[in-house]
Chain A
């Protein structure tokens, strides 16, 4: 076309980035890759093809790792770990070297990523690769600071890491950088669609002089992932689909392996009528048409206030129609290729099944390659399948709302809880709505902002654990100390026929601030060591648990009370307990047959003081993210927590977990010590006289093993903690997979957890991005 012609039409021409350097690298590497184990590439084994989804061209052949490969990699990582953990400064230097090398080879990484994944070169060049490098710089700093700033933490050990295909190198960085910084070694499996930048990264590790065995890369499909999950690793970190996350939760249940999951989402994108509408429309380009919508935190569920909806949709359709779709290596392309024909088919099927009003951007699709047009589906209601299920493609679904509270209700009407965007020019509205959203990340007047300093991760079925920031280090450290093995305690059962109380006493359950008879109508006698009857304890069943969870949910306003008020109430509990010190001490001595009841009561009073003190001091953080604005890391309560109490300590077993949990604004249902339940039941009266709102603390008595699976499976519970002397870790973790709730189990060992651990378990960090400027 002549200059004169183009002068008239003013079309964009092709602006391709050259693929040559990346293709040359593949040739240099022989076009066939083994795994990267113990500092070197193994010989290629049985291979599969790595394809360019934009053309279908085969880029290289990648090895399907075997069980032996995985085991060798894990062994290499194991061997390297102790030495790697020794010197934080050395780790900092290594991570710094990796960051520098990522920058030095930035364009090569970007082109290779785009070839392998199909994402526009603009994104891999300007977003993925710079963020990956930033993650290594940031965590080089964390390695340097670990000894000084985290003196109670130690590395977890060998981490198995499984990353998805949507941000291959960036997700690798999010996994490897913090793990290495904290002194762990890793075996990482990239997604089989997108292994190449992980292999280039392995090459970089060699250049950086990383000790052999610290980073190992095993390639292959989900079968290799399963091998890694069941291998001798200490932790699994997974980013990917909720379905696979669930399987990993089940597979690792009871193994003692630490687990973090970053899973799917159906993130709401809320536009209020006073928003800058054009900016909100433009934000959707970055929310749902970024990376072809193959983004776990994509703003895929548009909620628009009714009054502006028609105008908003008009503007949005006009904007969609301007998006340029095509060759991902073209520098002026907005939407590239979907990663694989399988994914393309999945998207196509889901959209074709919708009865909404479907608008597909009209631009021409390339004749070959995996392309799907930007799509908007309006006129849906929350009941429609596409409003609930993740599509993982460039497809936006939408509905409208009337009021802020309805917006929150619709936004939270999902099993997921990864991210959310809120658009309004009203700071009161924005900062009111953000804390109410069930999401790990909230962007105000923005979307898809990421930084190494800001935590990222979800709630509900979007998983647990955070990546980035100080909170992200929790995923790769544990408190020092191995703890003590717990031995199960059988209740005393001898009956000498002499009851201690002059009148019959049968302790009921404590639900919603009231004593309640057990649904099943059963109770059991509780004796002293010498066989004297102390009274009867109710045996709670699943329906009592259901009632308790309902009471907790009804008491949700507790989470919005001030820290000051919660402190006051905890002090009041301490005061009232202290007033009845002797009575509780005697009770404890009767129950356990010991003589240290007074000490346990004193400990309980002290614990209540400690958590009263913390109630208004677990400060949120303002993260120094690289923009004009801030990212608030808000410590929000987890929600409803079910607790199986330590059996050995009748009172402290209750107070120790209850106090931090309610101090941080959670509601709890505690199942008291199974052999020694009656101190907890005596405690009802203390709660009654201490202004604790009904439903904030619920106490059940009964059999831990019977209640554990119901606790773990109940969708209304957000977390389950087990300190039970019966090791129920496997049952709880396995049953929790259905809802992917957070679990904290003891694996049969008792620990004296530091405050930081209690705080972390009692809170979810929500990152609220607040760009500003007028």
Chain B
């Protein structure tokens, strides 16, 4: 079996990859946006049958689960976060799985894709991850509701970038979507992208608050037109977060956008993905709908906090043949 793809070097795989040209965006094309369709029931049927259509077993399953770890934005976004808590999380990001298990798998260099924190924790995280190659992502722009003064939201991005965040997860103004004000959404996204500078920007759509999949599809497209590097489902704070139907809708938008512009935009489902099996289903979805190229950290991330724990237990089971328990794995 060939092992190619020089773009994956595990020692710095977590850096935003540079071999793909960054999405430069395009002028807002309202006729395209308005022509976008999303048939909810058909999308739900596809999503519902997907877990039954794809299955990976044995070594393949272990490899796919390691891949999932390498794609996790290990996240803490709580009001009670402290420096100590964040340092602990960063240590987990560096060593996501017990060393003996990684040794058995031959995956010693495995790390998570990034660590994702609030602005106040960026400096701590950057410090804790120094030398690891693991980037720090900051949620921004008045996360999670995105309703703080607009000026402050833009300024917040600059602060986080200055503090060392290489990735900025912004939240869009849901109102613009619900009111069909695509120009406003486009302008906002444009300005946020500009504020990010070299840092990559992930646009959080808060899909659970957009009402319809059609809105999800249209908002995805507008954010990509405005230069988003990633589109992301949720803050994790909405009552409904990442789902397979929403993911299918968004990645189809990504596929269309690439077909139209040539730019590959990344995808990040966030919130609600906590089981190893779910992660495998998501990877299969991405593989089948977007292709293998998207199974790299520069184009795909899981926004998750508890997913890693379940994957660790599955990997230990793979190595030992016995089911595991959570206390056998290091806390994050």
Contact = CB atoms under 8 A, between A and B. Distances in A.
Interface string B39-81: 1111111100100111111111011101100100000000000
Contacts of B67: 7, 10
A322 B284 CA distance: 11
B91 interface: no
B233 to A, nearest CB: 18
B175 interface: no
B1 interface: yes
A54 B49 CA distance: 24
Contact of A276 (B3, B39, B55, B56): B39
B85 interface: no
19 contacts: A2-B59, A3-B106, A3-B107, A6-B59, A6-B60, A6-B64, A8-B5, A8-B8, A9-B1, A9-B3, A13-B60, A126-B49, A275-B37, A276-B42, A278-B255, A282-B46, A331-B55, A334-B53, A445-B42
A489 interface: no
Nearest to A120: B53
A149 interface: no
B283 A10 contact: yes
Interface in B9-26: none
Nearest to B54: A332
A19 interface: no
A5 B1 contact: yes
Contact of A274 (B37, B54, B62, B70): B37
B252 interface: yes
B287 to A, nearest CB: 6
Contacts of A1: 1, 59
Contacts of B60: 6, 11-13, 15
Given A1-B1, A10-B292, A279-B43, 8 more contacts: A2-B106, A3-B62, A3-B107, A5-B63, A13-B59, A15-B60, A276-B38, A774-B214
A633 B206 CA distance: 40
A771 B42 contact: yes
A169 interface: no
A9 B40 CA distance: 33
B63 A7 contact: yes
Interface residues of B, number: 48
A628 interface: yes
Nearest to B105: A3
B288 interface: yes
Interface string A756-774: 0000000000000001111
B57 A15 contact: yes
Nearest to B45: A446
Contact of A279 (B8, B42, B56, B107): B42
B5 A771 contact: no
B231 to A, nearest CB: 16
B55 A4 contact: no
A627 B107 CA distance: 44
Contacts of A279: 38-39, 42-43, 46
A278 B217 CA distance: 12
A527 B43 CA distance: 72
Nearest to B38: A276
B326 interface: no
Nearest to A283: B42
Contacts of A481: none
A487 to B, nearest CB: 59
A10 B287 contact: yes
Contacts of A629: 41
Contacts of A627: 41
Contacts of B287: 10
A773 B41 contact: yes
Nearest to A4: B106
B214 to A, nearest CB: 7
Contacts of A3: 59, 62-63, 66, 105-107
B62 A10 contact: no
A773 B40 contact: yes
B148 interface: no
Nearest to A17: B55
B72 to A, nearest CB: 14
Interface of A: 1-15, 122, 125-126, 274-280, 282-283, 314, 322, 331-332, 334, 425, 445-446, 627-629, 771-774
B179 interface: no
Contacts of A274: 35, 37
B295 interface: yes
Contacts of B58: 13
Contacts of A276: 37-39, 42-43
A6 B295 CA distance: 12
Contacts of B320: none
Contact of A774 (B4, B35, B63, B212): B212
Contact of B41 (A6, A10, A122, A445): A445
Contacts of B53: 122, 332, 334
Interface string B242-255: 00000000001001
Contacts of A280: 42
A629 B44 CA distance: 13
Contacts of A122: 52-53
Nearest to A278: B252
A166 to B, nearest CB: 20
Nearest to A11: B60
Contacts of A322: 288
A126 B284 CA distance: 19
Nearest to B256: A278
Contacts of A11: 1, 60
Most buried by B among A7, A13, A314, A322: A7
A418 to B, nearest CB: 21
Given A2-B106, A15-B55, A322-B288, A7 B42 contact: no
B236 to A, nearest CB: 24
Given A279-B39, A279-B46, A6 B63 contact: yes
B59 A425 contact: no
Contacts of B63: 3-7, 10
Nearest to B63: A6
A15 B58 CA distance: 9
Most buried by A among B2, B60, B105, B107: B60
A277 B3 contact: no
A182 to B, nearest CB: 33
Contacts of B213: 774
Given A13-B59, A332-B56, A334-B53, A774 B107 contact: no
Interface in B269-315: 283-284, 287-288, 292, 295
* Closest 4 pairs (CB-CB, A-B): A13-B60, A6-B63, A279-B42, A771-B41
A89 B267 CA distance: 56
Contacts of A14: 57
Nearest to B106: A4
Contacts of A4: 3, 63, 105-107
A14 to B, nearest CB: 7
A8 B288 contact: no
Nearest to B249: A278
Nearest to B292: A10
A46 to B, nearest CB: 41
A638 B152 CA distance: 69
